[in-house]
Structure 1
Amino acid sequence: MTEKTLEKNARKTLVILLFLGWALGNLDRYLINYAVVYIGDDLSLTGTQTGLILSSFFLGYALMQLPGGLLADKFGARRVLLVSVIVWSIFTGLTAVALTLGVMLIVRFLFGIGEGGFQPSASKIISTSFPQNERSRVMSIMLSSSGIMAMLVPIISAALLVTIGWRAIFFIAGLLGVIIAFLYWKYVPKDKVQQSDEERPQIKGILGKLLRMPFMWSLVIGYFTIYAVNWGLNTWIPTYLSDARGLDILSIGWVQIIPGVITIVAMLGAGYIIDKIDLTVNKIIGALCALLLGGFLFLMFNAESITLFITYQCIVMFLATYVMLLLPSFILKRIPPEYAGTAMGMANTGGQLAGFVTPTLIGLMVDAFNGSYNAAVWMLMVISIVCVGSILTISLKDQYSEKGI
């Protein structure tokens, strides 16, 4: 069964709400990358412990991806979306009162659990509420908030971390979440009530089918590799620019504006292109982007000046952004809407496990090599090459169609 899409005005409102919700989630995720410099000083943390704080969110987030998708498919995406925003708002606020490393790790982990249901349920809403030829663009608009936050958070951090402090910022972010939750409760369309067992998705059966599909495992690996690069860079570039390039927090904030703008443009442009071009051609473009990504990572970290570093970083973000939007497009366009939440949750588990593993692994490498980032850079380059293979192995011929699933 395929649900009818919403009316045009309702779809516009829904796009705005999804954008705002994802923007808030990314506000916290990017903010911690800058705040951790001050958190590390307050709690006397090592590089490895700093990496653990950055990774603890992703562990909870990754563990909740598949359950979040299953719950969205079984009980309705709106319900999961609301619970997700409420829970993450509570633990964003509680970040402000964490006084020890242990408490901080628990709070960040539970914040990840809360936010973990958002993307699978949002993806299901996109799949059921929008025509197929609009879905990549809608996803790109929602995900573009990540680029906007990447641009704004450095400025916000530079202005507020040195004035009101990191604890006050997280408390304010928690209050913003309460507002978003209210807007979702009031304006997100209610889940369709399924009257019979025949209408109700057979979750156990579809999960088994998804787990047996090579298509899905290629996506899981693709998600893991591209998000390993993405979150490896996002979580450690502020610290890298401070330690290895000698920039202060204000300078870091300003130089990161340009990559943020590029990410926004790339996300919106990629959504338009992916909706216009056949997925077979898009697959080749995505593999080429992943291949070039490895080379420009090498150039970026070996740049002789900050100007060159930022130039190469812009290219890296453009290439990575295309791949990050292409991967969910395979699900939005090839998996029936009834099961989009479960499929997205499965694929995104790979991406968020990468978010958990990579920051800690980079922290360990930096400590092991006496502050050098060289080993971490080579690791990210190798991961980019693995991403190429995962994209090329995505089969577009033998998928379960809406008739066959």
Structure 2
Amino acid sequence: MEKSNVSKQKYIILGILFFTWIVNYLDKLSMNVAIIPIAEEFQLNETQAGLIISVFFMSYAVMQLVGGFLSDKYGARRMILISVVLWSIFTIMTGFAWSFISLIAIRLLFGIGEGSFPAASSLAIADNFPKAERGRAKSTLTAATTVGSMISAIVAAALITSIGWRNLFFIFGTLGFFLTIALYFLLKPNVQYSENTQTVKTKVPLKKLLKMPMLWQLMLMYFGVSIVNWGLTSWMPTYMVKVKHLDMVAMGALSIIPALAALVAVVLTGWLIDKHAVGKEKYLIMVGAFIAGISLFFMTYASSIVMVVTFQSLTTAGCLFATTTILTLPLKYFSHDVIGTATGFMYFGGQMAGAISPSVMGFVITLFNGSYSAAFLFLMVMIIIPIVTAITLRTKNEALTTISI
């Protein structure tokens, strides 16, 4: 009976974390759609619009490092609750923005508030699931990000059209406060699967952690894939509206298709990681990144909406194939007491990509007088990073002996 209760509890925690990730992406990605009317209201060019999107990731990236350390120190539950409260406050504040500068300031604070959540949620998975199940558990949370991406575009487009972009942020921020109450009662600490619960806990010094090759390889690979992920997520709504001449509702509806492709890729990858790819994860990363790069090339030169969406879907699926694998590796190969810190470093690389990609693409689009081809070429070049880095990744033998110190 006790074992049954423990099993039930871990799936309750997984369920509430799944929903929290969806809300997280609703709050975060709605700006990618809202920036269209915001740019019109505040008379912003593409470079300024890209900066508003990117500035969030600047503070978000730095907070990954701090948030990972704090999660290891104070526990996943406390950091998740604090993060959700803070990002909900700044989501509501976004609706009160009155200028370009105010949006920059609010988005910076938004990133600080949200930055602890990714590492803390990964630590919560490690606290509640054995290593043999962590690939599927983590892929479930990654699937939530694709669901959030899918919902955010169509919901944001519909709400902006009907009630305006300011009310959009008021609604999403209020939802976050209700979510905090649910997390308070459902997210109960359970460290049954920590390898340190029955032994004396030995902390891995930060200096030793920084000497682990896998830490830097994961961060670099996640950086490369995230350049493409955040570049497409940030600019495809504008591209479809301005270049392909879709209205916002049609754009939001079509965005469901790439998100569904990503969802399938995430679920498939989680199953492969746990069942068939132990010690061979680098091949999943390389295949996913290669698919993304080739598909991105064909998407750039596709003439019809159908082909654009088709190759965007393949690009997104390839990216998520690689991303899910990268995000799961710390849960499988790092000792429990540094999972938060290590994951924070890895997410730092991914969110720095979020800070760089939208603004660089906005600058390139402006430089080439509204043409997106050069901006997409930038993404093609960056997807080479995870392919090359994955070649040097060793998980089958070396990782198991060097990650646990």
TM-score, length of structure 2 as denominator length: 0.94
Q: Deviations over 1:257-304 (max 9, x none)?
A: 211211122212211111112333331132122123211101011112
Match in the other structure for 1:333 = 332
Where in structure 1 are there 5+ consecutive unaligned residues?
193-197
Deviating above 4 A after TM superposition, structure 1's stretches of 4 or more consecutive aligned residues are 198-201, 400-404
Q: Secondary structure at the match of 1:7?
A: helix
1:316 shift after superposition: 0.9
In structure 2, relative to structure 1, the CA distance for the partners of 1:236 and 1:5 (3 Å cut) is: farther
Bigger mean CA deviation after superposition, 156-165 or 8-17: 156-165
CA contact (8 A) 1:96 1:167 kept: yes
Q: How does 1:34-49 map to 2 (within 5 A)?
A: 34-49=33-48
Identity, % of aligned pairs? 36
Q: What CA distance in whole angstroms lies between the structure 2 residues aligned with 1:158 and 1:43?
A: 19
Match in the other structure for 1:170 = 169
Q: What CA distance in whole angstroms lies between the structure 1 residues aligned with 2:390 and 2:22?
A: 27
1:188 shift after superposition: 0.9
Q: What CA distance in whole angstroms lies between the structure 1 residues aligned with 2:227 and 2:400?
A: 29
Match in the other structure for 1:21 = 20
Match in the other structure for 2:142 = 143
1:398 shift after superposition: 2.5
Q: Deviations over 1:311-365 (max 9, x none)?
A: 1111111111110100022111000112100010011100000000100000000
Provide the aligned C-alpha RMSD in A.
Answer: 2.1
1:403 shift after superposition: 9.2
Residue type at the aligned position of 2:332:
K
Match in the other structure for 2:10 = 11
Residue type at the aligned position of 1:123:
S
1:233 matched to 2:228? The reply is no
Q: How many residues are matched?
A: 398
CA contact (8 A) 2:21 2:148 kept: no
In structure 2, relative to structure 1, the CA distance for the partners of 1:177 and 1:270 (3 Å cut) is: same
In structure 2, relative to structure 1, the CA distance for the partners of 1:400 and 1:271 (3 Å cut) is: closer
CA contact (8 A) 1:6 1:129 kept: no
Q: What CA distance in whole angstroms lies between the structure 1 residues aligned with 2:278 and 2:335?
A: 16
Match in the other structure for 1:399 = 399
CA contact (8 A) 1:6 1:130 kept: no
Where in structure 2 are there 5+ consecutive unaligned residues?
192-198
In structure 2, relative to structure 1, the CA distance for the partners of 1:359 and 1:7 (3 Å cut) is: same
TM-score, length of structure 1 as denominator length: 0.94
In structure 2, relative to structure 1, the CA distance for the partners of 1:6 and 1:400 (3 Å cut) is: farther
Match in the other structure for 2:288 = 289
CA contact (8 A) 1:279 1:330 kept: no
Q: What CA distance in whole angstroms lies between the structure 2 residues aligned with 1:220 and 1:90?
A: 29
Q: What CA distance in whole angstroms lies between the structure 1 residues aligned with 2:253 and 2:404?
A: 52
In structure 2, relative to structure 1, the CA distance for the partners of 1:160 and 1:123 (3 Å cut) is: same
Q: How does 1:111-260 map to 2 (within 5 A)?
A: 111-190=110-189, 202=203, 205-260=204-259
Q: What CA distance in whole angstroms lies between the structure 2 residues aligned with 1:137 and 1:47?
A: 39
Bigger mean CA deviation after superposition, 287-296 or 71-80: 287-296
Q: What CA distance in whole angstroms lies between the structure 2 residues aligned with 1:364 and 1:201?
A: 48
Bigger mean CA deviation after superposition, 71-80 or 395-404: 395-404
Q: Secondary structure at the match of 1:162?
A: helix
Q: Secondary structure at the match of 1:21?
A: helix
In structure 2, relative to structure 1, the CA distance for the partners of 1:44 and 1:163 (3 Å cut) is: same
CA contact (8 A) 1:43 1:101 kept: yes
Match in the other structure for 2:64 = 65
CA contact (8 A) 1:128 1:338 kept: no
Bigger mean CA deviation after superposition, 337-346 or 282-291: 282-291
Match in the other structure for 1:358 = 357
